[in-house]
Amino acid sequence: MGRLFGTDGVRGIANKELTPELAFNLGKAGAAVLSKGGSRPVFVIGKDTRLSGDMLENALTAGILAVGGHVIKVGVIPTPAIAYLVKRYGADAGVVISASHNPYEYNGIKFFNGEGFKLDDKIEEKIEDIIIAGIDSKMHGTGEAVGKCLDAGDDAHGLYIDFLADTFEGNLEGLKIVLDCANGAAYETAPAVYKKLGAEVITIGCEPDGININDNIGSTHPEKLQETVVKTQADLGLAYDGDADRLIVVDEKGRVIDGDKTMCICAKMLKDEGLLEGNKVTATVMSNIGFHKYINEVIGADVDVTAVGDRYVLESMRETGCVLGGEQSGHIIFLNYTTTGDGTLSSLQFVKAVRNSGKKASELSDEIEIFPQVLVNAKVANENKNDYLKDKEIQDFIEQVEKEMEGSGRVLIRPSGTEPLVRVMIEGADVEKIQTLAQELADMISEKYL
């Protein structure tokens, strides 16, 4: 068996790769590792709308209960709600059953610690080691030693909705907003928050049936949202992914505002309010050069750059005290409010930035110049994926390309984490030119290392 945890929990095709047996063992091993001094750990479990969610939830729960842990089930709810509720309930850990933006046949299991942060790599490794080694992590308890499901008490959805509403000052009366919830976990909570704040709400992607999550809808497929915003003459469109930790915005003209632009607009708001701690924003290596220019030259702030993945963004933010960070994909973290990406919270902050500016979303978006990006995959032998790093001819070619673009473009090469590919990305003003250069560089890498 290979390693189980990826960059965002354990994922796979439900009932084939992510089986009930694996979910049961994750529950047992997780409860054994997270128990403190022999105490019974309490887990908060939530899920998205996938058909396989019930199966995995019950298997996971059985594993936790079998070794004496307790479980609080809160049903279909966004991933960031679990990060909030685990602290609210004083639980030891939270678990989300979701495969985020992936198709419905996939599912995943990811853990949060008692502070609402994703588990540290070392703790994940301990859980993995127990399962991979086939160790019975703890003898099944009998009698009073068996765990039980606890009552959530206060309405979990209501607590989360109230938390979100409290992050927004004032109300949204007079604002017409289209919400696209991807037929996923936010289909109840996001509309409830916006209605509570007084907005006129139009919804799409709010009729989950277990198999239509992310199906040509949501943050990865904003076309229907763009059409609906224009047709209804709405002020904004807001799209989330299946577990609602990402946000993609559509302006009143039906144009997409990606995560880079959203962070720029929110960073300016925080800077104007004196709340941009450390005068910096955290982003990954994939963020557009236009993002860097806006943050550096317009706002007068710095950018901390991390590897791709929200967990690396968060690690950096916690080290530096930065309060805003995220990715192009719309996974944005407002660390002064929460411990993980939250699509609904991010959208509220964006709406606040638009309202405070006195401008329309399109006007704010047009102030940010995003440079075209071209991505070409170079096929290589798996064992050669990192050899380009020491290849002088390739490094010289990259240096030459970046000199030609004179600060208005860049080259980024990185090996795929899952496939025998090296991804070549070039940014620049001239699309035809960067397409030619990217293909030339990809061909060079393939010829040398396939």
CA distance readout (Å), 322 to 46, 113, 314: 28, 21, 9
- Asked if residues 189 and 161 have their Cβ atoms less than 8 Å apart, the reply is yes
Collapsing DSSP states into helix, strand and coil, what is residue 13?
Answer: strand
CA pair distance 57, 46, nearest whole angstrom: 8
Contacts of 191 (CB under 8 A, 6+ apart): 179, 181, 201, 203, 206
* Lookup: tokens for 352: 């606040």
Residue matched to tokens 């396989």: 52
> So which residues are the catalytic ones?
100
Q: Residue 219: which of 243, 239, 191 has the closest Cα? A: 239
Strands of 87-163 (E only): list them. Answer: 93-97, 106-113
The dihedral region occupied by 339, where left means phi > 0, alpha psi between -120 and 50, and beta the remainder, is: alpha
Copy the structure tokens of residue 350. 């964006």
Which two structure tokens, joined as six digits, stand for 111? Answer: 């853990």
Show the tokens assigned to 265. 């607009």
Sheet holding 410-415, edge to edge: 373-379, 421-427, 410-415
CA distance 169 to 173: 12
